[in-house]
Copies of this chain bind each other. A is one copy, B any other.
């Protein structure tokens, strides 16, 4: 493996340890779809952290020393698992995060769960990536340092981070609590981020994260870390459109694609009093689906199975993250009803039959996660109503296998990585 990627990562890869290492070196990274050449040194020079990160040596900071670090302009050492190419294999990697700024919190990560988006993005399905890149945007842990302007958190608080880590508070969407739509929003991994020593944001498959306090939420004490982690993306992504639909008791709600997102969508909608119809291609999920509280589990081995449900549902949320027959599924919605797509397919492309969509007279929309206010709301709602995901705890070394399971629909239903194993 390490030899075959020799050309990809150049000098940044340690052939002996089979790990990616850091140093003040020129790093050339290439992907099959893009050739990107950039200099870590130049990136470091362009930030306020110049030199500090390089000077930091020794063991990872303890909680006490981390707390002392806040305001010290010292880069934070981190270790996690990174993609180095589009292969879908991750490798242990030690890297640095920016110093804890005035508005930042440092979180010692306890658990991070696996989202299909991690796989899509690392594999380059959504466009060429910069590597090494640490995925992960379902993150929970304990606050170990706070910047001097931080008011929402104190050291020792339980906190979570989802898909966003920074934005521009002047933006109208930001002020409306829909930060995900700000043009300047920095998503949790792979986004250009000047303040990051690696030049891009690095995600939660790691032992810590530095994040603006605005983009962290409180994790109530009556939900476990491992149950809370999936709420940070899967939870908010399904909760937000359900709330925008103004879901009410007795509404007939369809959930299409019963994986990490879908199984949470069922549980949330059931907790809100809806009659849920779940559509899956996996007969082996039927019993689970009924246990989640769905009224019906429909195995769609062929889209003709949807004909029985034509025009019967008030609303559908679809989590399928690949191309599929949108119009066929949309046909189950009542005339002038709403159909929300939350799964993001390869290249983000959905090929839709216009005539099919016209016949079901459906309003089709695509929803992207949710805002920070709503993210806190879903975490609280799930804790209060005991809406917990079905999770399987894994070690860091099992990530690649778990990714294969996710792609092959074998996950039941969310893999959660124990961050102590990074």
- A357: which B residues are within 8 A, CB to CB? 365-366
Q: Which of B356, B358, B364 contacts A363 (CB under 8 A)?
A: B364
Say yes or no for A181: interface residue by CB 8 A criterion: yes
What are 16 A-B contacts defined by CB distance under 8 Å?
A126-B355, A181-B335, A345-B354, A349-B351, A349-B353, A350-B351, A350-B353, A351-B352, A352-B352, A354-B366, A355-B368, A357-B366, A358-B365, A358-B368, A362-B365, A363-B363
Q: What B residues does A349 contact at CB under 8 A?
A: 351-354
* B residues less than 8 Å from A348 (CB atoms): 353-356
Q: Does chain B have a CB within 8 A of A407?
A: no
Q: Would you call A22 an interface residue if the criterion is a C-beta within 8 Å of the partner chain's C-beta atoms? A: no
Interface residues of A (CB under 8 A from B): 126, 173, 178, 181, 244, 335-336, 338, 341, 344-345, 348-359, 361-368
Specify which of A178, A335, A349, A358 lies most central, judged by the most chain B CB atoms within 10 Å of its CB.
A358
Please determine whether A344 and B355 come into contact, CB atoms closer than 8 angstroms. Answer: yes
CB distance from A310 to the nearest CB of B (A): 9
Chain A interface, DSSP helix/strand/loop, else mixed: mixed
Min CB distance, A221 to chain B, in Å?
Answer: 34
**Chain B residues closer than 8 Å to A356, beta-carbon distance:** 348
Write out the residue numbers on chain B whose beta carbons fall within 8 Å of the beta carbon of A344. Answer: 354-355
Q: How far is the CB of A102 from chain B (nearest CB, A)?
A: 30
Q: Within the assembled complex, what's the spacing in Å between the Cα atoms of A345 and B350?
A: 15
Partner of A365, one of B244, B345, B353, B361: B361
Closest 6 CB pairs of A and B: A358-B366, A358-B368, A363-B363, A348-B355, A357-B366, A348-B354
A350 x B354 contact (CB < 8 A): yes
Asked if A338 and B354 sit within 8 Å, CB to CB, the answer is no
Give chain B residues whose Cβ lies under 8 Å from the Cβ of A364: 363-365
Instruction: Please name 10 further chain A to chain B contacts, defined as beta carbons within 8 Å, in addition to the given A178-B335, A350-B351, A361-B365, sorted by A numbering.
Output: A181-B361, A341-B354, A348-B356, A350-B352, A354-B366, A355-B366, A355-B368, A358-B368, A359-B368, A363-B363
Shortest Cβ gap from A345 to chain B (Å): 6
Known interface pairs A349-B354, A350-B351, A353-B348; A363-B366 also in contact (CB < 8 Å): no
Complex: how many Å from CA A17 to CA B253?
Answer: 62
A192 to chain B, nearest CB (A): 17
Q: How far is the CA of A357 from the CA of B340 in the complex (A)?
A: 11
Question: How far does the Cβ of A354 sit from chain B's closest Cβ, in whole Å?
Answer: 5
Q: Which of A345, A349, A361 has the most CB of B within 10 A?
A: A361
Contacts of A353 in B (CB 8 A): 348-350
Q: Do A363 and B365 contact each other (CB < 8 Å), given the known contacts A341-B354, A350-B354?
A: yes
A365 contacts across to B, CB distance below 8 A: 357-358, 361-364
A348 to chain B, nearest CB (A): 4
Chain B residue contacts of A244, Cβ below 8 A: 336
Chain B residue with minimal CB distance to A345? B354
Task: Find chain B residues with CB under 8 A from A350 CB.
Answer: 351-354
Question: How far apart are the CA atoms of A357 and B365 in the complex, in Å?
Answer: 7
A338 to B356, CA, bound (A): 18
Q: Which residue of B lies closest to A341 (CB)?
A: B354
